[in-house]
Chain A
Amino acid sequence: MNPKDMKIIAFTCTYCAYNAADLAGSMRIQYPHNVRIVKLLCTGKVEPILLLEAFRYGADAVFVAGCMEGECHFVQGNLRARQVVEHTKQLLQDAGMDPRRLEMFNMSASMAQKFVQAVQTMTDRLKEQGPSPLRAPTTDSATGGVEQPNLSL
């Protein structure tokens, strides 16, 4: 399966990362079409269940993009989000999934390139990882057998 056809969910904060993604548009920077942005007011709202549900509903990769550290409009939402992401990576690992399917990025509103790089990074990883093992085995079931998901997570 082409990583371009897999799905990446990006949870972004309103002020920085979402604006960076918009700016990438203004600047017409082209990037893979596999990403779907879910806008949050602040990444402080991110919690493990939200990230895990994204995988359960079929995301092959998930990333959280918040403000630069120390620049959160809500003081420390992004720091909180990083903790949550780190914790959830552990959960993924425990569940037999590659924790690198989940990542946290920080960017400011003017860093369109950084947003694009985030999408690219996750897409590159998907190239080696293949689709999420939680995907319904429809088109492409050969995941290489690296990840052994424990679906009772």
Chain B
Amino acid sequence: MNENVEHKQKIGAVLVAGAGIGGMQAALDLANAGFGVYLVEEKSAIGGRMAQLDKTFPTNDCSMCTISPRLVDVDKHPNVQILTNSEIVGIDGEAGHFRARILKHPRYVDMEKCNACGDCFEVCPVEVPNEFDEGLRPRKAIHKLYPQAIPNKAVIEKAGVSPCKAACPAHIHVQGYLALSRKGKYKEALNLIRKDCALPSVCGRVCVRFCEEKCTRAQVDQAIAINDVKWFLSEQVVDSEPLEIGPAKNRKIAVVGAGPAGLSCGYFLALQGYDVTIFEKDAEPGGVLRYGIPEYRLPKAILKRDIDYIRRCGVEIRCSTALGKDWTLQGLREQGHEAIFLGVGCSDGAKLGILSEDTPGVIQGVDFLRETAQGEIIELGKTVLVIGGGNVAVDVARTAVRLGVEAVHMVCLEDRDEMPAHVEEIREAETEGVIVHNCWGPFEFVPGESGVGVKGACFNKCVCVFDDDGRFNPSFDDQCSMGMEADTVILAIGQRVDPELAGPLGTIERIRGNSISVDPITYATSEVGIFAAGDVATGPRTVIQALAAGKEAAESIRRFLEGEDLREGRETQRQVADPDVEGVVPALRRVKKEVPAEQRKRNFQETVVGFDEDAVKAETERCLNCGVCSECLECVRVCQPKAICHDELPEEITLDVGSVILIPGFDTFQAKIKSEYGYGRIANVLTSMEFERLLSASGPTEGEVLRPSDGGHPEKIAWIQCVGSRDVTCNRDYCSSVCCMYATKEAIIAREHDSRVQPTIFYNDIRAFGKGFEFYYENASTNVGVRYLRGIVSTIKEEQRTKNLLVSFRGEDGTMTSESFDMVVLSVGLEPSQSARKLADRCGIDLNRFGFAETKEFTPNQTGRAGIFVAGVFEAPMDIPESLMGAASAAALSGELLSEARNTLVRGNAFAEERDVSGEDPRIGVFVCHCGSNIARIVNVREVAEYAMTLPNVVHGEHNLFTCSTDTTVAIADKIREKGINRLVVASCSPRTHEPLFRDVCREAGINKYLFEMANIRDQCSWVHQKEPEPATEKAKDLIRMAVSRAARLEQIREHSFPVVPRGLVIGGGIGGMTAVLSLADQGFEAVLIEREARLGGAALNLRRSLTGLDVSAFVEGLRNRVISHPRIKVLMDSEIKDHSGHVGRFSVKVRNRHSGEESGLEVGAVIVATGGQEYEPTEYLRGRSDKVWTQTELERYLYDEPGRMELVKNVVMIQCVGSREPENLYCSRVCCGTAIKNALALKERDASINVYVLFRDMRTYGFKELHYRKAREAGVIFLRYDRELKPVVEEVGVGLRVTVFDQILRGEVALPADRVVLSAAIRPHSETEALGAIMKIPRNDVGFFMEAHMKLRPLDFASEGIYLCGLAHGPKYIPETLAQARGAAARAATVLSKDVLQVSGEVSVVDPELCASCLTCVRVCPYNVPEIDPATNRAYIEPASCQGCGICASVCPRKAIKLQHHTDDQLLAKLEAL
């Protein structure tokens, strides 16, 4: 290692990837221990999977209730920086000094400006499946992940640019206007088209539809009739107001030619505010649109409509004035035109150059069309030959039909498929009687007799139109010719630039004859300031291409005039969306109604009838929303804070961090893979995650369980376990650990919601191994009525009529049975999230064969790359508390690595010095928020603010668009200082989200943060009384009056702070305690370890090998050596706690030496309880009466220490659940199944001929332990299942033993000879647990293990702050679990020990000793045992550092001697008084 690097100080910041519940835990623990944290999350909000859950087992707590305070904590923490929509791209460097590269995907919403008012959600026309609700209901393209999402900001989902938009030369927002049309927002849709297209009505008629060629829908059935929707729109909104026009620039631009390119260029420049004049040589504007396209395709009135609109936008069009005749380019410049656009088109018909082409009866198609358009009458005779196969030829032919010609023939070189004309046009021409002759090329025209007119033409067979290089180079068969007679021949074989323009265009560079040479991107000509586009630059092309080119040229001209680079940023192409069309239901395309040929061929009326509203609805609903966001820009229109930025680009940033914690969470198994269960095919088969959303009160059915097929209430619901778990066939042979419990929970909750529900759970083993799980399971089956059926489900079939489900399953005895259910829930397993593999690769860490992060048993949470840690389901399938333990453990590992850099990269909030307002009369400022229109649309905020001014003590009132915006908060602080305001009232959204913000405003303004009061006039007023503006306004006044009344009585509270004793105490010297104390010491704290016994090691001293074969004794020895030699650790052996007092940050502990009786005092800031557990000493199964009945620990010890005892042992019977899962000890000891398998495998390894029988009730080898279970079965270990009611019987028979058991699989009694019976005895809490609990006032559960603050969310904490928990003292667990929890406890303790002082919330109870009668009522009722009688005063005393602020004591105190600060009776009554 480079020496410089070694000595460089480590970086005091940590990158946490994944912001689920685990990531949040790690982030908060680190941030609270003095490290900077970057919390990187792929999704748009933090919260992870837990936010999606309805309830959590085994307490049935509401998931959102428990998680949401933590979301806010993370959001508000000054040292946690949340990076959403972000992913790790790479990590360079090494432990202590990593440089992480992070890719921030665009959110398209400015987080600084967005205030989540939700206006955009309402107008967004695009609905896509809501992933948070597992697709059970739609959400908008602009959305929040879920209602309580943090960061509370909108996000736009984009999957790339939609193929239709990408294909359109003008990049019209096709998906956008389809989406708006679907919602009936025709005006908005048309305006959206107008943002990119100058002539929407024209395009709606004549566009060649590049968009439809790329429409994804064509992969399913047919492309959407996009252009017909545009046609419809142009008919709906005829005289619309011009789009917003930019401020007048007073700069002149000349456009030459009023064809599509010129009109487009002029239009877009006019929108920018430039003065545009179009000079047109013809009498009317329109160019080819007017003089080239026949009226039956594009009525003049339609063209006029679009041109009138362009004129309304400010474009001046001067007609009948021609370049070269009336003015010159130089002349335009001299008139002050700063730029010139040339859009003069191709108006000259191309010639064939063959014999007799100049015969008078041979005319040019373009001339013919022009003259017809001008109303001139042309004599054509009875037969007309049209030469050419393009659209102009078709137009000519069909025009001739309309002029009454009897026979119209089209002759062209190309075969049918090669013809350049639109298929539809050719078909229409033919139905009108035009006869098409393919593959003929004329070589001579035959002049009429006596030189009058023409007689006909001669043709050769064309064998090939294009040469091998694909160039137009026709070859003919001279041997094959024909002649056709005609009265008129019309040539429509192409156009070129009018040769007469050659002179006037002067030195401008030209190509291909007359065309103007332009830059393909900028459309700049060789002459500075002159631009050209459209047919004059490209030769004849389509209208939309000319429009697009005109628009691009306009952008170039703008850049030219503003002095910007013409090219910058114009060449990059956005990624085109490519959506999955699987499962899209086909729906045929609507077609426009045609006027019958006989009728239409007689006039120039339009030949088709545009769509009606029904057809538009049907077509637009066929849109697949390829790009997700349709870029309809409605959100931009309604967003008042101007937060939307559709052009945002991805950004790569680098972060310097000392360590990295990866907690990317999980995905659920793709249930479709198990096709026999019909998921995705059968409506009423759901996944457990979908069912979770159905149960959620905020889910798609508001908590009502309804069948997807018919919305009915299902009664018989089946859960099928192990879908994607314990299944070799889909490479998921591990157990997902949580499914048994979540299925049980879902069954219980479903019944709670609807008592008619009869749940059945099909299972293999019920793995209720966690704390409180066995009781939960037992309660579900005996009291709640959940039916558990042991069996393997083979298939699910849908009953056609009822949509019920026929579930076929094989019972334990092998018989096949079927049963009908109303709904089936698949308990899908957990697997690493999709991105985890990529993440691992980018971070350089190893995965196991299933894609989980590889860690070792004695080093949980540690990867092969130093400084990169993992936790949560990424490590192995686990539930929430274990994820939290692992996350905290990873935080501790980071803290150990980076202890020297603690507090180097954190920032506190620096605020102004607080002004003492206690002597002042209340001076209240009231700020009423509009919340954009969220409040103001309903509540008359002006009236409310004026009303507030009339209230007593109010010295200032105002209303603001967004009170929470940065500029407004600054203004509020100014106002507080300026007007001497000493109470702040804000009437806006909810204190739940905004109280911390406004409290900070108070502090910034120099007043105490408790002088703030909020009136919730949005969430609890305007949003819930949307149809009653007047009562809502009155209610808002009431709420403000109540708030003002209370505010007047608010008191400033000085938050008490005290110095922290920077020393930790760990009670118990087992592996948990040793790990915890080492972690504390390695994190830089002084630590004391107390052990009752004379030897460190605890219960692990009885173990020899771990499940994967690691040497436990050596591990314990290693820990012991490190502990006793660590300079910051003091070990007190043979010692126990005698007394404990104090509070977080400052505990006083009395320690007694059990030998000498000597007592000593100790001051510590935090305590970790690691008192461990012990093996139950069985009294069952001849234990104690026969020396051949051992426990598992004895077997393990003998196997390794006294192998002599194993000689002659040939038959071993293990009995599981001895002392566990019994009515009096209703819990699972968790480790016995794994231990039995470990020892069974060891026996088999020692001697494969030993018969090992394991008598079990459920094998609970969760997670990867399942692999060992499989291995044991493969090794020949025999597993027999017994029921609790039919226990095995052990008898002495001769010198040996006999075990008789009723085998539930064979349904019969089995007698097993046994040389040894090995009992898997329960794990019990340590015998001293009860005494210690009483001394420390920490609670235990009904089976004696210590009880954490919250079973789900606070598995490391006691309810009493500053005291933490780990290891067997908490409940039975394996070594890696103990190690993770121990380190986790150390991380929790570090959040206290790392602080110099602790601040106590002001919202605590205080006792007035004058009033206190020492009646002990408060002492009795406090759920936290905080109040005590102070021996000095003999009055009650409540330690503020310990008080939680529930107020129970204040409400029961008979003498009202206790007041709960900030919630005093006086303050509450003030609210009521103002009612």
Footprint of B on A, CB under 8 Å? 4, 7, 9, 14-16, 18-19, 21-31, 33, 36-42, 44-47, 49-50, 53-54, 57-59, 67-68, 70-71, 74-77, 80, 84, 108-114
Known contacts A25-B1024, A33-B1035, A42-B1447; is-contact A109 B65 (Cβ 8 Å): yes
B54-62, B193-201, B217-225, B919-927: which one contacts chain A?
Answer: B54-62
Name the residue on B nearest A108 (C-beta): B62
Q: For the complex, give the distance between the alpha carbons of A129 and B1468 in Å.
A: 26
Name the residue on A nearest B1046 (C-beta): A38
- Which residues of chain B are near A54, meaning CB under 8 Å? 1472, 1475
- Which residues of chain B are near A26, meaning CB under 8 Å? 147-148, 1019, 1023
- Which residues of chain B are near A38, meaning CB under 8 Å? 1042, 1468, 1471-1472
In the complex, per-residue mask of B1002-1043: 1 if CB is within 8 Å of any chain A CB, else 0:
000000000000001011110111111001101100110010
A58/B1475 in contact, CB under 8 A: yes
Q: For the complex, give the distance between the alpha carbons of A114 and B1035 in Å.
A: 21
- Which residues of chain B are near A23, meaning CB under 8 Å? 147-148, 698
Most buried by A among B990, B1026, B1463: B990
Q: For the complex, give the distance between the alpha carbons of A74 and B148 in Å.
A: 22
Q: Which 9 residue pairs spanning A and B have beta carbons closest together?
A: A25-B1019, A45-B1447, A108-B62, A74-B1446, A75-B1423, A25-B1023, A47-B1451, A109-B65, A44-B1448
Q: For the complex, give the distance between the alpha carbons of A63 and B1434 in Å.
A: 38
- Which residues of chain A are near B1450, meaning CB under 8 Å? 45
A-B contact pairs, 23 of them (CB 8 A): A14-B992, A19-B992, A21-B1019, A22-B990, A24-B1020, A26-B1019, A28-B1026, A33-B1025, A33-B1028, A36-B1042, A37-B1016, A38-B1042, A40-B1447, A45-B1463, A49-B1465, A53-B1469, A57-B1469, A80-B1448, A108-B64, A109-B62, A109-B64, A112-B698, A113-B702
- Which residues of chain A are near B68, meaning CB under 8 Å? 19, 109
Footprint of A on B, CB under 8 Å? 54, 59-65, 68-69, 147-148, 696-698, 702-703, 990-992, 1016, 1018-1021, 1023-1028, 1031-1032, 1034-1035, 1038-1039, 1042, 1359, 1403, 1421, 1423-1424, 1444-1448, 1450-1452, 1460, 1463, 1465, 1468-1469, 1471-1473, 1475
- Which residues of chain A are near B62, meaning CB under 8 Å? 16, 68, 71, 108-111
Among A22, A27, A47, A53, which residue has its beta carbon within 8 angstroms of that of B992?
A22
Known: A22-B1016, A41-B1445, A109-B68. 15 other contacts (CB 8 A): A14-B992, A19-B68, A19-B992, A27-B147, A39-B991, A44-B1448, A53-B1472, A77-B1447, A108-B64, A108-B65, A109-B65, A110-B62, A110-B697, A111-B62, A112-B698
Name the residue on B nearest A37 (C-beta): B1020
Q: For the complex, give the distance between the alpha carbons of A28 and B148 in Å.
A: 14
Q: For the complex, give the distance between the alpha carbons of A40 and B1448 in Å.
A: 12
Q: Least Cβ distance of B1475 to chain A in Å?
A: 5
- Which residues of chain A are near B1403, meaning CB under 8 Å? 41
Known contacts A33-B1035, A57-B1475; is-contact A74 B1025 (Cβ 8 Å): no
A45/B1460 in contact, CB under 8 A: yes
Name the residue on A nearest B1032 (C-beta): A33
Q: For the complex, give the distance between the alpha carbons of A37 and B1027 in Å.
A: 20
B1024/A31 in contact, CB under 8 A: yes
B1475/A36 in contact, CB under 8 A: yes
Q: For the complex, give the distance between the alpha carbons of A31 and B1021 in Å.
A: 10
- Which residues of chain A are near B1016, meaning CB under 8 Å? 22, 37
- Which residues of chain B are near A110, meaning CB under 8 Å? 54, 62-65, 696-698
Among B1023, B1028, B1469, which residue has its beta carbon within 8 angstroms of that of A28?
B1023
Q: Least Cβ distance of A32 to chain B in Å?
A: 8
Name the residue on A nearest B1039 (C-beta): A36
- Which residues of chain B are near A7, meaning CB under 8 Å? 1475
Among A14, A45, A50, A59, which residue has its beta carbon within 8 angstroms of that of B1448?
A45
B1447/A57 in contact, CB under 8 A: no
Q: Least Cβ distance of B1442 to chain A in Å?
A: 13
A114/B1023 in contact, CB under 8 A: no
A36/B1038 in contact, CB under 8 A: yes
Known contacts A57-B1475, A70-B59, A110-B697; is-contact A30 B1024 (Cβ 8 Å): yes
Q: Least Cβ distance of B1139 to chain A in Å?
A: 25
Q: Least Cβ distance of B578 to chain A in Å?
A: 34
Name the residue on B nearest A18 (C-beta): B992
- Which residues of chain B are near A22, meaning CB under 8 Å? 990, 992, 1016, 1019-1020
Q: For the complex, give the distance between the alpha carbons of A70 and B1403 in Å.
A: 23
Known contacts A9-B1472, A47-B1451, A53-B1472; is-contact A76 B1423 (Cβ 8 Å): yes
A9/B702 in contact, CB under 8 A: no
B1448/A112 in contact, CB under 8 A: no
Q: For the complex, give the distance between the alpha carbons of A67 and B1020 in Å.
A: 18
Known contacts A41-B1447, A71-B59; is-contact A108 B697 (Cβ 8 Å): yes
A44/B1471 in contact, CB under 8 A: no
Q: For the complex, give the distance between the alpha carbons of A42 and B60 in Å.
A: 20
- Which residues of chain B are near A49, meaning CB under 8 Å? 1465
B698/A46 in contact, CB under 8 A: no
Q: For the complex, give the distance between the alpha carbons of A57 and B1041 in Å.
A: 14
Q: For the complex, give the distance between the alpha carbons of A7 and B1472 in Å.
A: 11
Q: Least Cβ distance of B404 to chain A in Å?
A: 65
- Which residues of chain A are near B54, meaning CB under 8 Å? 110
Known contacts A19-B992, A71-B61, A112-B697; is-contact A41 B1463 (Cβ 8 Å): yes
- Which residues of chain A are near B703, meaning CB under 8 Å? 111, 113
Known contacts A26-B1019, A38-B1471; is-contact A111 B697 (Cβ 8 Å): yes
A74/B1026 in contact, CB under 8 A: no
A57/B1472 in contact, CB under 8 A: yes
B1451/A75 in contact, CB under 8 A: no
- Which residues of chain A are near B64, meaning CB under 8 Å? 108-110
- Which residues of chain A are near B1451, meaning CB under 8 Å? 44-47, 50, 80, 84
A24/B1452 in contact, CB under 8 A: no
Q: Least Cβ distance of B29 to chain A in Å?
A: 20
A80/B1421 in contact, CB under 8 A: yes
Q: For the complex, give the distance between the alpha carbons of A46 and B1463 in Å.
A: 11
- Which residues of chain A are near B65, meaning CB under 8 Å? 15-16, 19, 67, 71, 108-110
- Which residues of chain B are near A37, meaning CB under 8 Å? 1016, 1020
Q: Least Cβ distance of B552 to chain A in Å?
A: 44
- Which residues of chain A are near B1021, meaning CB under 8 Å? 33
Name the residue on A nearest B1339 (C-beta): A75
Q: Least Cβ distance of B1024 to chain A in Å?
A: 5
B1446/A42 in contact, CB under 8 A: yes
Among B147, B1031, B1445, B1448, which residue has its beta carbon within 8 angstroms of that of A4?
B1031
Q: Least Cβ distance of A31 to chain B in Å?
A: 6
- Which residues of chain B are near A58, meaning CB under 8 Å? 1475
Name the residue on B nearest A31 (C-beta): B1024
- Which residues of chain B are near A76, meaning CB under 8 Å? 1423, 1448
- Which residues of chain B are near A114, meaning CB under 8 Å? 697
- Which residues of chain A are near B698, meaning CB under 8 Å? 23, 27, 110, 112
Q: Least Cβ distance of B63 to chain A in Å?
A: 8
Q: Least Cβ distance of B151 to chain A in Å?
A: 15
Q: For the complex, give the distance between the alpha carbons of A4 and B1035 in Å.
A: 11
- Which residues of chain A are near B702, meaning CB under 8 Å? 113
Q: For the complex, give the distance between the alpha carbons of A81 and B249 in Å.
A: 69
Name the residue on B nearest A32 (C-beta): B1025
Name the residue on A nearest B1405 (C-beta): A45
- Which residues of chain A are near B1032, meaning CB under 8 Å? 33
- Which residues of chain B are near A113, meaning CB under 8 Å? 697, 702-703
Name the residue on B nearest A26 (C-beta): B147
- Which residues of chain B are near A45, meaning CB under 8 Å? 1446-1448, 1450-1451, 1460, 1463, 1468
- Which residues of chain B are near A84, meaning CB under 8 Å? 1451
Q: For the complex, give the distance between the alpha carbons of A38 and B1465 in Å.
A: 12
Most buried by A among B697, B1448, B1471: B1448
Q: For the complex, give the distance between the alpha carbons of A40 and B1469 in Å.
A: 12
Q: Least Cβ distance of B986 to chain A in Å?
A: 14
Name the residue on A nearest B1014 (C-beta): A39
